[in-house]
Structure 1
Amino acid sequence: MENITERLVKYMEVKDLTAYRMTADANLSVGLIGKAIKGKSGLNIETIEKILLTYDDLNAQWFVTGKGEMLIVEEIEVEQSNEIMVDKELLLDMFQKVDYLFKLSIQENATQELNALRDRIMK
């Protein structure tokens, strides 16, 4: 089972964040994230709280316990002429995140299915 630091690294990879960027964004002590990633220290409650308050899409339950989904996804919909339109860039961004997660942990078949989904989105 993953620990909180391993989950932090996964989140950073999905969001394309460096330890330096996270340190600056969350107003953490310099080197704190790097040391945690290298296993030289842990994350205390104040650090965890700062990270969760800074990154509001990070699911606190997943981050702390590993249960649930990594990201809190808000549905963004625009109603126009009684039809719901979804921003293609948002869908592509979500696709890229899902694609990354699949590459981490799912079978090779997932790549083909995701490519088909991307092709349908782009039509």
Structure 2
Amino acid sequence: MIVNRILQLIKYKGINKRKFYLETGLSNGYLDKVKDVGVSKIEHILNTYPDVNSEWLITGRGNMIIKPFPIGEELDIENALVQEPNSIYKVKTQKQQVPLYDVEAPAGIVSLFKDSSQAALDYISIPNLPKCDGAIYVNGDSMYPLLKSGDIIMYKKINIAAENIFWGEMYLVSLTTDDLEEFVMVKWAQKSDKGDDWIKLVSENPQHQPKDVNFKNIKGLALIKATVRINATY
């Protein structure tokens, strides 16, 4: 079963299930709830761990890990399998193509944090970029001067829970107000004085006041991994 092979992979990586869920974006307890793993979830795992042999994960054939190759050698690693995981290697990997989305498009906010497909405006590739789920343009001045309108932020979705948040980091937050109006915003995430069920969203721009939000109103949460600024268009 694929679930059993995923558990082997977790053990090989030396991580626990919680870290696996956090890194792959799968929901907490997912492996305990399913007997089979869908294609979209497999893609999440392979994108997160590009050294994993897809044939092994899906069918059980071959070795778990794709073999890297020694420094100075040029080698196609598609069919190579790991032999010395503790050696120093130069790893040849595919560049990550991060989809750039338009949250101003119809249903853009609704589908941004869901598995349902949304057409991308374009794709961004940056060397050595941490794993990202997507990118969007910044709109507004709440994070100015750190971010300005027109900048691009690149994010990795996480499960909505206080224990998954790295306090003090910057997040993309999708939330609804009590009158069901939807917003997507970029804020610093800080602990709220109101308790564990709340999060304080803080702007970089001092003209924007901090706001305490109940977790029940948060519909999506993503850690900002990178930012892109274009200083000239000529």
Q: TM-score, normalised by structure 1?
A: 0.55
For the pair shown, which has the larger CA radius of gyration, 1 or 2? 2
Q: Provide closer, same or farther for how the CA distance between residues 68 and 92 of structure 1 changes in structure 2, counting only shifts above 3 A.
A: closer
CA RMSD of aligned residues (A): 2.1
How many residue pairs were aligned? 77
User: What code does the residue aligned with 1:16 have?
Assistant: G
For residue 86 of structure 2, what is the aligned residue in structure 1? 93
- Which string of whole-angstrom CA distances, capped at 9 and with x for unpartnered residues, describes residues 40-89 of structure 1? 5432221111011100111000000011111012112258xxxxxxxxxx
Provide the identity percentage: 27
Q: Provide closer, same or farther for how the CA distance between residues 29 and 73 of structure 1 changes in structure 2, counting only shifts above 3 A.
A: same
Instruction: Structure 1: give runs of 5+ residues left out of the alignment.
Output: 80-90, 95-123
Q: 1 or 2, which has the higher helix percentage?
A: 1
The reply to whether residue 4 of structure 1 matches residue 2 of structure 2 is yes
For residue 71 of structure 2, what is the aligned residue in structure 1? 77
User: What code does the residue aligned with 1:31 have?
Assistant: G
Q: 1 or 2, which has the higher strand percentage?
A: 2
User: What code does the residue aligned with 1:19 have?
Assistant: K
Taking the aligned partners of 2:38 and 2:15, their CA distance within structure 1 comes to: 20
Taking the aligned partners of 1:8 and 1:22, their CA distance within structure 2 comes to: 10
Taking the aligned partners of 2:71 and 2:12, their CA distance within structure 1 comes to: 23
Taking the aligned partners of 1:18 and 1:60, their CA distance within structure 2 comes to: 21
Instruction: Structure 2: give runs of 5+ residues left out of the alignment.
Output: 74-83, 88-234
